[in-house]
Chain A
Amino acid sequence: MSEPMKNAAMFVFVAALILMTGFAQSWSTALLILNMGLISAIMALGLNLQWGFAGLFNVGVMGFVALGGLAAVLVSMPPTTEAWAAGGVRLISGLLVGAAVIVAAALTFKYMKKSKLRGLIVLVILVGGFFLYRAVFDPGVNAVEAVNPAGTGYLGGLGLPVLLAWPVGGLLAAGAAWIIGKSALGLRSDYLAIATLGIAEIILAILKNEDWLARGVKNVVGLPRPVPYEVDLQSDPAFIEKAAGLGLDPVTASSLYIKLAYGALFAVVLAVLLILAQLALNSPWGRMMRAIRDNEVAAEAMGKDVTARHLQIFILGSACCGIAGAMMTTLDGQLIPTSYQPLRFTFLIWVMVIVGGSGNNFGAVLGGFLIWFLWVQVEPIGLWLMQTITAPLPEGSALKDHLIGSAAHMRLLTMGVILILVLRFSPRGLIPER
């Protein structure tokens, strides 16, 4: 079988898995898997840019995804005018002071001659600046968070259409990636890994703590949607008629319709990003990237600016993750900072890229769908397995209850085993790099 045929067959196989879910379980579940699969594929595509094209070891995917989610809130939620009036100006000026302090310290460090005095001055600027920043910033925070804390207590967003949040999420993630890349990209691969791991945790800590920004752990719920509401569809006579024509009751039909609409939107984004990534991979720029990845020294000798190229691709990959994060928050309709777990949002994406085939965009997309499917389905399969194994045990036995209760944790185990097996027996993944 030829190479493209084999790859197409694998995509058909994953599609068949999702269709089987539709027939065996429910179409609602199947569409949920499909939608999150599309989002996962975009995340995998972003990570593949960084790891597959350039060999950058980024384990901070979760942070960029969360930033995308933040963008969805900041763009689409209506602004809280009272909060702005209460402390908005103070907050913003506090942030500006903070930024100014950092810039001043950086400039001093850059332009003064190396001496003990320089270190001292930078330290004074930073410490003094910190207290100044807190003095300006803290009253603003208190004022904003005091405004109706049960309902809002944050500055709110811009009240713009939520679709706009997707590119904004990408930009926000790209901005963060620029800052991180500037400071950490010169480091060796495993230092970069630890650095990105830390940054992701910090971004999460900010999201959880800064209530004025996105309500912290009080969560933002009820984000506006790019698609109609189920209730509206159910009361629309034209829709009910169409649903009846297909032999569906209006409630099921509306829920499926909404999921399909989301799926279509996500598919368009994935298609655009995939085409762009393919064009980039096959362009001179893509070849240069792979040359840098395979031999940095040789590439540098050829006059390629390795650090600048790394920064560039780090930003692009992170932007993809940010877009996916904004899309996911839009799909959920809420931002819940505590739901971001590194195993799920960083390391699972790594499993997707490695299993799919690092360095190959189609591989990353395939991995995204396949691993997401398994992530969802391992749980019921594990439960079934446990019930079968424990069937001979008497009813009410402690061991039986424990095994069945713990079946949910099988998914982590399975993902680890899959990753280890793929690395051992097929290290280049399902669709290897050409």
Chain B
Amino acid sequence: MDILNAIVALSNFVLIPAIAYGSQLALGALGVTLIYGILRFSNFAHGDTMAFGTMVTILVTWWFQSMGLSFGVLPTALLALPLGIAACMALVLATDRMVYRFYREQKAKPVILVIVSIGVMFVLNGLVRFIIGPGDQRFADGERFIINARDFKEMTGLEEGLAFKTTQGITVVTAVIVVALLFWFLNRTRTGKSMRAYSDNEDLALLSGISPDRVVMVTWLIVAALATVAGTLYGLDKSFKPFTYFQLLLPIFASAIVGGLGSPVGAIAGGFIIAFSEVFITYAWKKVLEYLMPESLEPSGLVQLLSTDYKFAVSFVILLIVLLFRPTGLFRGKAV
């Protein structure tokens, strides 16, 4: 029984949150990695792109709610998501047209594009704060739990409860669908194949008649969709705050780099590696150990390796280790 209790406690506090967080990071990292592969720069504005898409989704959600529209047990935000994605797509296409395209035609160095993306980051950050304000916004509605802790205890007779939030379930399901669609698109469709060709070898791709403008446009559209989905899922699961989204930049980049920049599979693996290590290292293991160890050996402290505020340190240390020992990332990304 104790072992079962330990497993339940572990799933409740570590595995389920880490899987949900990992899916969110993976979706974010996919966006970063696609931009890097096709447009060849690290997009510092990605966190704020996520914030923008999420903000539109939230505003539409509120509008739907005020009209009395709801999605039954699921959050209304899922209904609003397509509109959020559309708005985000319009935004990134506009930024590309007004800002990035000029540098692409100039064949500017990647680092110049990075600085340009810092400018875009400022603008988007200001815009989001201007429209929705810098504070916390909660917009999750519908059923809160798929399984709540008390029902689980009654069902199984275990001491430990297992809570499985709707938002966590939605996160995982949505992430699986989105990733499956993305890989189908990249591997099976003509446009997807031309994108991969362009990412592998730009000159050769141009020679074989692939239109660079089209590839770039499709990339931005996909990135906008990924960013909005990732942002909305994160916001549903936790809460929406512009500054938090800006800070997500670090774990997202860490995920993309750990997996290998430019490699979609790597981005997903990286997302889960970062999420699991963050949760593992900042979780207080006392509860799980109490079930597993004989009473005499039970730990007296919390057995927390690092305080939760050091979660950035965790993503960062992993990033550094990977960079030092395998500079192109686990899945052999590209180096521009």
Contacts and interface: CB of A to CB of B under 8 A. Distances in A.
Contacts, number: 128
A420 B123 contact: yes
A406 B319 CA distance: 37
B127 interface: yes
Contact of B99 (A57, A187, A198, A420): A420
A194 B319 contact: yes
Interface in A385-419: 405-406, 409-417, 419
Contacts of A405: 133
A194 B254 contact: yes
A269 interface: no
Contacts of B320: 183-184, 195
Interface string B283-319: 0000000000000000001000101011011011001
A112 interface: no
Interface in A183-217: 183-184, 187-191, 193-195, 197-199, 201-202, 205, 208-209
Contact of A411 (B126, B131, B254, B313): B126
A351 B125 CA distance: 15
B119 A416 contact: yes
Interface in B44-102: 99, 102
B209 to A, nearest CB: 31
A211 B196 CA distance: 50
A201 B316 contact: yes
B130 A423 contact: no
A189 B36 CA distance: 14
A199 B111 contact: no
A202 B335 CA distance: 26
A424 interface: yes
A417 B130 contact: no
A45 B153 CA distance: 62
Contact of B119 (A199, A209, A343, A423): A423
A14 to B, nearest CB: 21
Tell me the dominant secondary structure on chain B's binding face.
Answer: helix
Nearest to B335: A188
B17 interface: no
Contacts of A202: 310, 312-313, 316
Contacts of B124: 416
B177 interface: no
A201 B250 contact: yes
Given A194-B257, A205-B309, A413 B122 contact: yes
B257 A191 contact: yes
B115 interface: yes
Given A57-B114, A201-B250, A410-B126, A187 B327 contact: yes
A354 interface: yes
Q: Which range contains the number of B residues in contact with the other chain?
A: 35 or more
B181 to A, nearest CB: 28
B325 to A, nearest CB: 10
B307 A209 contact: yes
Contacts of A193: 42, 114
B324 interface: yes
A347 B121 contact: yes
Contacts of A57: 111, 114
B310 A205 contact: yes
Given A184-B320, A197-B250, A198-B319, A416 B123 contact: yes
Contacts of B309: 205, 208-209
Contacts of A419: 115, 118-119, 122
A369 interface: no
B246 interface: yes
Nearest to B131: A406
18 contacts: A57-B111, A184-B320, A187-B327, A189-B110, A190-B111, A198-B312, A205-B312, A341-B243, A342-B246, A351-B119, A406-B133, A413-B122, A413-B123, A413-B127, A416-B121, A416-B125, A417-B119, A424-B102
Interface of B: 41-42, 99, 102, 110-112, 114-116, 118-127, 129-131, 133-134, 243, 246-247, 249-250, 253-254, 257, 301, 305, 307, 309-310, 312-313, 315-316, 319-320, 323-324, 327, 335-336
